[in-house]
Chain A
């Protein structure tokens, strides 16, 4: 693994992000109406002159290619523009929202991976057993259920039937505090959205790790390890799991994009103040700079996540690290 390899991957990632911006720029502008009409709606109606002023203020009266050129030159300077809706720099909005989204996505990812792998491993030890059957059914249902539906079901369950978890927001409206108290308040609010998102991916990790472990547990070196008299736990976790985990890590990297898009839906359902809700609202408001900024940032996160996956994959498997020698 060389520095050149990393730089090359980063360069490709940058090109990809520019492609994402250009594509989305045209897609967004293809939708009927613009921000001026949204603002007019929020205002309760405005005059033609004010509409013209708004369009001029945001450059919406320029030809679309000019708008694209201006936007790309802004990006190159590290400026994602000003939100039409919030009148704030998009970078500030993203900085405010990125933390909650990353917290949600990473918590869900860790939950999904840990629980999914443990379930998969346990199920793989007795492929025909009841636990294996449960894992298969749970995985299928969890994967098949749309994430927003799962979220809404949890909202109904925990707001009406068992009101023990907050169903909206990241911090209680009245909460004022710092440190551990704040962390606990956030964690309390995090339970439902993180669980909703984790259920979707947990299903995939459980099925994948179960299949992978079943295959590995049948390998010669596992039989040899058992013949040497190693305990079952040692065989499973030291010898088999380490090999079985490689495809899981690959999928984890690939799935990160899906995780982010899943987070967008979950944030909307649970009113989680992350980038997902920001993106959702920006679509409805035709807030082009904010939406493009969020997409730009999300694509950067996915590119970086995939790069980290590649690097960790090499660290975990000596055969890749040494080029198979």
Chain B
């Protein structure tokens, strides 16, 4: 959905213009694309560092075996074809024969094998390649991934920033890959190579003339400009200094949506799947009672949050799987605003109101520096839950480590949180609900939630190759957690891409800018 023009006419004209440009314009070579971001990458090697900041430049520098479009369909990239074994325990990748790294060394199956095993050993998303036992290389252009169990998430894990093919002749020198000097001076086989890196300020990439797809990339340069914060990103786009950016706060989305020459769209974040929720510590009273958690959900007015606090740019989220995922359950249990029912549940749970009308007090953790971007939901909850006799005290941490420490150590009752799905539920969803993942680290099952059937269903879904059967298992999982509410999902965060209308073939696959931009071009001189 493309949106956010000053007038309806403007909106229609813009969509038509973009559609026409995308459909008919002949790709033009040349020009620069300035990506503006408030995120500072630690380095540019996504093999050992997740996160958007590394992924955007990293996917321009490093090619991956496959890529994925806006419909979740897979396409060849470094692998021109791929084939599952009948038993689902191995996947053969047939590599293109003309790919070279930026230093001229050919890309071979040995690099693919090295990369996958390096990612398995170092990447934070351990489930991505967890079942990979080995990668065989019968010849220079064939890699066979051997699995200990069937692994349906594998194909998606071979796309974009999740599987950069890094050169063995550079990273295989015995140094720690996580701190390897090449991480800040990367040699990949992607469409752009590093021209200049000014740490914390700007990354300039230039076209790699020997890129393995003939005629690509179209752009001469991609510049990743790091600015101070979300407001600076907005100003940069308004002034024309920047061409494209991720916008995450409702006010900026509204503001930029009214500017001629800019398109603002929520497309391109289906893979990330950013969800805002309230995490409950299910190990502590009174939140260990499902009725209390449900009462809190019934006391919340989602319409008010979406339309007033989030200014109508966020969408409701009632499930642990982002609504745009093919595995999302469209028939989730819902908790429409119902104060009477919330009161009844709390009475039933044995929490009568005291003389001052208060039943009990809960402490809510807030994520430092994100209140405005997240719609000030904690403040809203404080006033709203007072309606049902729950006194909410906000505990604001001064910075991320403090907040993360509270959650990781279980020193919390409720907390706002933002968690990404990362494409496949195996990668970004299971971790929150598996009882085997109750660990003292952030974004594990810090809620302490335990349900044996959930563990069982997720284990089956994680290895089920039949998509229909897998979807059914995920629906069952969603129904269970939808009823038990270890977390209360509020909304999909209003992540939007904002970009210059003249950009042809804007990066709007499920990974957005976290995938090669070799197909992006300027429809006219900038």
Contacting B124 at CB < 8 Å: which of A43, A168, A268, A283?
A: A43
Q: Which of B141-149, B199-207, B261-269, B316-324 contacts A (4 or more CB under 8 A)?
A: B199-207
Distance (Å) between the CB of B337 and the closest chain A CB? Answer: 32
CB pair B200 A173 closer than 8 Å: no
Contacting A284 at CB < 8 Å: which of B53, B241, B242, B400?
A: B400
Contacting A169 at CB < 8 Å: which of B124, B125, B126, B227?
A: B227
Contacting B404 at CB < 8 Å: which of A41, A82, A86, A96?
A: A41
CB pair B400 A41 closer than 8 Å: yes
Central interface residue in A44, A57, A281, by most chain B CB within 10 Å: A44
> A93 to B40, alpha carbons, bound, how many Å?
14
A310 lies within 8 A of chain B by Cβ: no
CB pair B227 A44 closer than 8 Å: no
Contacting A173 at CB < 8 Å: which of B126, B241, B400?
A: B241
B90 lies within 8 A of chain A by Cβ: no
For the complex, count residues of B whose C-beta is within 8 A of A. Answer: 52
How many of chain A's residues touch chain B, expressed as a range? 35 or more
B21 lies within 8 A of chain A by Cβ: no
Contacting B422 at CB < 8 Å: which of A44, A86, A93?
A: A44
> A278 to B34, alpha carbons, bound, how many Å?
22
Q: Which residue on B lies nearest to A43, using beta carbons?
A: B124
B431 lies within 8 A of chain A by Cβ: yes
A159 lies within 8 A of chain B by Cβ: yes
A45-63 interface code vs B (CB 8 A; 1 in, 0 out): 1111011010001000000
CB pair B442 A41 closer than 8 Å: yes
Residues of A within 8 A of B439 (CB): 47-48
B329 lies within 8 A of chain A by Cβ: no
Residues of B within 8 A of A82 (CB): 179
Residues of B within 8 A of A281 (CB): 40, 200
Contacting B232 at CB < 8 Å: which of A57, A271, A284?
A: A271
> A173 to B179, alpha carbons, bound, how many Å?
28
B332 lies within 8 A of chain A by Cβ: no
A88 lies within 8 A of chain B by Cβ: yes
A87 lies within 8 A of chain B by Cβ: yes
What is the total of A-B residue contacts with beta carbons within 8 Å? 136
Contacting B225 at CB < 8 Å: which of A41, A173, A268, A283?
A: A173
Q: Which of A30-38, A233-241, A294-302 contacts B (4 or more CB under 8 A)?
A: A30-38
Q: Given that A43-B124, A45-B431, A271-B232 are known contacts, is A57 also in contact with B404, CB under 8 Å in the complex?
A: no
Residues of A within 8 A of B201 (CB): 169-170, 273
B51 lies within 8 A of chain A by Cβ: yes
Q: Which residue on B lies nearest to A167, using beta carbons?
A: B235
Distance (Å) between the CB of B164 and the closest chain A CB? Answer: 15
> A172 to B428, alpha carbons, bound, how many Å?
37
Distance (Å) between the CB of A95 and the closest chain B CB? Answer: 11
A207 lies within 8 A of chain B by Cβ: no
Q: Which residue on B lies nearest to A284, using beta carbons?
A: B399
Q: Given that A37-B408, A86-B42 are known contacts, is A57 also in contact with B126, CB under 8 Å in the complex?
A: no
A77 lies within 8 A of chain B by Cβ: no
CB pair B441 A44 closer than 8 Å: no
CB pair B50 A44 closer than 8 Å: yes
A4 lies within 8 A of chain B by Cβ: no
CB pair B49 A173 closer than 8 Å: no
Central interface residue in A46, A166, A277, by most chain B CB within 10 Å: A46
B210 lies within 8 A of chain A by Cβ: no
Central interface residue in A33, A34, A53, A57, by most chain B CB within 10 Å: A33
CB pair B228 A168 closer than 8 Å: yes
CB pair B420 A87 closer than 8 Å: no
> A44 to B404, alpha carbons, bound, how many Å?
11
B200-242 interface code vs A (CB 8 A; 1 in, 0 out): 1110000000000000000000010101100010011011011
CB pair A48 B440 closer than 8 Å: yes
Q: Given that A37-B408, A96-B199 are known contacts, is A50 also in contact with B124, CB under 8 Å in the complex?
A: yes
CB pair A51 B199 closer than 8 Å: no
Q: Which residue on B lies nearest to A280, using beta carbons?
A: B228
Q: Given that A33-B401, A47-B126, A172-B241 are known contacts, is A159 also in contact with B235, CB under 8 Å in the complex?
A: yes
A210 lies within 8 A of chain B by Cβ: no
CB pair B199 A88 closer than 8 Å: yes
Residues of B within 8 A of A166 (CB): 239, 241
Residues of A within 8 A of B238 (CB): 159
CB pair B440 A271 closer than 8 Å: no
> A53 to B441, alpha carbons, bound, how many Å?
13
Residues of A within 8 A of B236 (CB): 168
Distance (Å) between the CB of A90 and the closest chain B CB? Answer: 11
> A46 to B126, alpha carbons, bound, how many Å?
8
Residues of B within 8 A of A173 (CB): 34, 36, 202, 223, 225, 241-242
> A42 to B51, alpha carbons, bound, how many Å?
6
CB pair B227 A33 closer than 8 Å: no
B141-181 interface code vs A (CB 8 A; 1 in, 0 out): 00000000000000000000000000000000000101101
Residues of B within 8 A of A283 (CB): 399
Residues of B within 8 A of A41 (CB): 400-401, 404, 442
Contacting B400 at CB < 8 Å: which of A37, A47, A96?
A: A37
Q: Which residue on A lies nearest to B48, using beta carbons?
A: A43
Q: Can you list 15 A-B contacts (CB < 8 A)?
A: A37-B404, A39-B42, A40-B124, A41-B401, A42-B53, A43-B49, A43-B50, A44-B428, A45-B442, A45-B444, A47-B439, A96-B198, A168-B241, A268-B228, A286-B401
